[in-house]
Structure 1
Amino acid sequence: MSTKRNQDLVKSVKNKGKNLEGEMSFFDHLAELRVHLIRASVAVIFFTIICFIYYDFIFDTVIMGPHKPSFWTYRAMCRIGEYFNMGPGFCITNIPGKIINTEMAGQFTLQINSALMTGLVLGFPYLLWEVWRFVKPALKDNERKSASGFVFYASLLFIVGLLFGYFIVAPLSVNFLSNYSISPDIENTITIDSYFSSVATLTLCTGAVFELPIVIYILSQLGVMTPSFMRDKRRYAVIIILVIAAIVTPTPDIPTMLTVSFPLFLLYELSIHVSARVQKKKEKAEREFFAN
């Protein structure tokens, strides 16, 4: 009886040792994650300080750009309208609506928030790099090799999405909403917070939507998404994309909605291609495993 108790005691001590080892490993990972997040935060703070110092350019040229008739998108639309004889309605020469500030600390808060958001956008690739450095040691050699371009492609898609949102989605939405009126007795007087949040939301959301191939890649690696499923549900995806385009660009004209939805169609087809490549690699690895 005493021998059995001793064996149980030894077994419980061993189990406790394993639990302590696991807990220490877990806390070690948390400590390492904290180091990576601190580095990423330092990078974001650095870019935020730079944006705060050079805020005149950021505010006048970047933030207020879609509200100026001299913005690149509006000038391009004028040239396209002249080339195809589309009439003066396609050329935007005036953005109505006066932008005002209604709070005592509104402009100071705007400078801090917009500088922080710009710093976060500029530091986003480095943030992804730090996340990759944290996850990389836990991956197997084949997984590490297949995901080696994660930071580059994720950053590239995000930047392309930001540019598309800033130069296409944001100005078209700003122009439509500024000219929209239900009565001539109502004058559009827009607060700077409302204007900035609209432009920032449209731009950042478009950047996030362009990460669809990366999301599909991860889901395909986990076995949640397959190319056959995406091909079968393509017609539903078309409807969802058109709904997203209608929400992102609150304009009633079909050409504008199709302009926004066309890149989303391309992203969906690219995602199918990405999922198919992941599936082929999985099938090849399985064949090699059973062959050996």
Structure 2
Amino acid sequence: MSQDPNTPEMEGTEQPFVTHLIELRDRLIRAVLAIGVCFIALALYPGPSGLYDLMAQPLVQNLPKGATLIATSVISPFMVPIKITMLAAFMLALPVVLYQIWAFVAPGLYANEKQLVLPLIVSSTLLFFMGVAFCYFFVFGKVFHFIQQFAPKSITAAPDIEAYLGFVINMFLAFGAAFEVPVVVVILSRMGIVPVAKLKEWRGYFVVLAFVIAAVVTPPDVVSQLALAIPMCILYEVGIWAAQLADRSKKKHEEAQKDASSASGS
């Protein structure tokens, strides 16, 4: 069928592109609305100041008696709790945000890719939350107690609240990302980039890499470095185990498809 010479050459491609842009806009609006709803809910209870008190609790419990956190900027007592609330709202709405991303890219994926992407999104979200929780409930208390043991008696500890916020965000990101190791291992295996046999051979290299990463992204103390490196090594083994299960499931699916095609051909 010949194309009308009066029809613009790109007219057939402009409409799908505009449609994708509209869908992307709608997905972004839903993600922002989810974050906004979580922010309002957290602002009502426990409130920005209550959230910051909760965030600062591991440090305050390990400060000397009578010591408190300080604010060196005029607007810090207002802005820092607001930033904490925004961070908590984003983390609370993260499942919705990731779902909107998945829903946007899903139509362009094959059926087997769709089966892989959704479990990876769910598992990566849970692992990130586990990393943040491990950092807050275990690492912070150990690190602050370790640091205070080495503080001279002549020094009065009075950490700045903005510096503490930056420290908390960096640590949360470091441990949240470190707990994504199994997801990365499974993706490398399923995409055929690195076979499981190679992943097993690289165990020793990964242990060295884990300790190097821990030394770079954590404070210069033994406790936080070990608390990051050891879980990374354990999660690497978990990733290898999950990749083996995924390979077995893939082989069974391929064999079932072959049997079905041969049965239909006969």
Deviation at 1:177, TM superposition (A): 3.9
CA RMSD of aligned residues (A): 3.2
Q: Give the equivalent residue in structure 2 for 1:57.
A: 50
Against the structure 1 CA distance between its residues 16 and 274, is the aligned structure 2 distance closer, same or farther, given a 3 Å change threshold? farther
Against the structure 1 CA distance between its residues 15 and 249, is the aligned structure 2 distance closer, same or farther, given a 3 Å change threshold? farther
Deviation at 1:127, TM superposition (A): 0.9
Against the structure 1 CA distance between its residues 16 and 288, is the aligned structure 2 distance closer, same or farther, given a 3 Å change threshold? farther
Larger radius of gyration: 1
Deviation at 1:246, TM superposition (A): 3.5
CA–CA distance in 1 between the matches of 2:215 and 2:24?
39
Deviation at 1:235, TM superposition (A): 0.2
Q: Give the equivalent residue in structure 1 for 2:197.
A: 228
CA–CA distance in 2 between the matches of 1:104 and 1:130?
38
Range with greater deviation from structure 2 (129-138 or 161-170): 129-138
Q: Which runs of 5+ in 2 are unaligned?
A: 262-266
Q: How does 1:1-292 map to 2 (within 5 A)?
A: 17=9, 19-53=10-44, 54-60=47-53, 62-69=54-61, 94=64, 98-181=68-151, 187-247=156-216, 248-252=218-222, 257-284=225-252, 292=261
TM-score (norm 1): 0.75
- Matched-pair contact (CA < 8 Å) for 2:135–2:171: yes
Deviations 1:177-208 (A, max 9, x none): 44544x76655442110012112221232112
Identical amino acids, percent of aligned pairs? 27
Against the structure 1 CA distance between its residues 12 and 279, is the aligned structure 2 distance closer, same or farther, given a 3 Å change threshold? farther
Deviation at 1:161, TM superposition (A): 0.9
Alignment partner of 2:222: what SS? coil
TM-score (norm 2): 0.81
Q: Which runs of 5+ in 1 are unaligned?
A: 1-9, 70-91
Q: How many residues align?
A: 257
Range with greater deviation from structure 2 (155-164 or 167-176): 167-176
Deviation at 1:25, TM superposition (A): 1.8
Alignment partner of 1:223: what SS? coil
